[in-house]
A and B are shown apart, each in its own frame.
Chain A
Amino acid sequence: SAVISQKPSRDICQRGTSLTIQCQVDSQVTMMFWYRQQPGQSLTLIATANQGSEATYESGFVIDKFPISRPNLTFSTLTVSNMSPEDSSIYLCSVELREKLFFGSGTQLSVL
């Protein structure tokens, strides 16, 4: 299994500002995934982050809005830029080990 430390656990932000979410994994992993879960909804994959290369974004998500860093095999950040109330969601990072996903505890973001 993998233990993922994600922070912050929650934040309340003003529109137009940016928030950076961090995830630290207790082992080296090739890919890290960032998901968004809007209120009462399922998880939607934002992007896949590989160490040493640009993240791969899913349809509907762009790098300017959700820049991702992956400086090494145990760490990644997701920034939610120029936030609006529509960005209020839970953001989750995860890693895959033996076909199973392990998740951080999530960041609950509220944008006013």
Chain B
Amino acid sequence: SQQGEEDPQALSIQEGENATMNCSYKTSINNLQWYRQNSGRGLVHLILIRSNEREKHSGRLRVTLDTSKKSSSLLITASRAADTASYFCATVHSGYSTLTFGKGTMLLVSP
């Protein structure tokens, strides 16, 4: 399977703390994307990082990509209760055009 694997499956932190989620995949990719899903609703695109990029920032989000280890991490700094959601990594694998989603990390940020 090409499906990514997020780690941890669930994460519980306090407001103001940083949250780090990891994603591993098995085959070479064109790009890797992170999405957020609130309460089982539609997903929202957060950030896209290409296979030739190592790090990308967007506001309080920082994504890294290590293609040699086939892994990526999403860091949310200074977390807020509103960040409570499930976070999914999704990959576009070489030779394919569709996204393959990982299993997700459920983040709970307590006030």
Contacts and interface: CB of A to CB of B under 8 A. Distances in A.
Interface of A: 4, 6, 33, 37, 41-45, 48, 90, 92, 94, 99-106, 108
A22 to B, nearest CB: 14
A100 B33 contact: yes
A101 B90 CA distance: 10
A6 B42 CA distance: 10
A44 B98 CA distance: 11
Given A42-B101, A42-B102, A42-B103, A99 B31 contact: yes
Interface string B85-106: 0001010100000110111100
A100 B45 CA distance: 7
A96 B28 CA distance: 21
A94 to B, nearest CB: 8
A6 B33 CA distance: 23
A105 B42 contact: yes
20 contacts: A4-B42, A6-B42, A37-B40, A42-B3, A42-B102, A48-B98, A90-B40, A94-B42, A99-B33, A100-B45, A101-B33, A101-B35, A102-B45, A103-B42, A103-B44, A105-B42, A106-B40, A106-B41, A106-B42, A108-B40
Contacts of A101: 33, 35, 43, 45, 90, 99
Contacts of A43: 43, 88, 101
Tell me whether chain A's interface is mostly helix, strand or loop, or mixed.
Answer: strand
A41 B33 CA distance: 18
A48 B92 CA distance: 15
Nearest to A56: B98
A100 B47 CA distance: 9
B42 A104 contact: yes
Contacts of A48: 98
A41 B103 contact: yes
Among B41, B42, B90, B99, max chain A CB count under 10 A is at B42
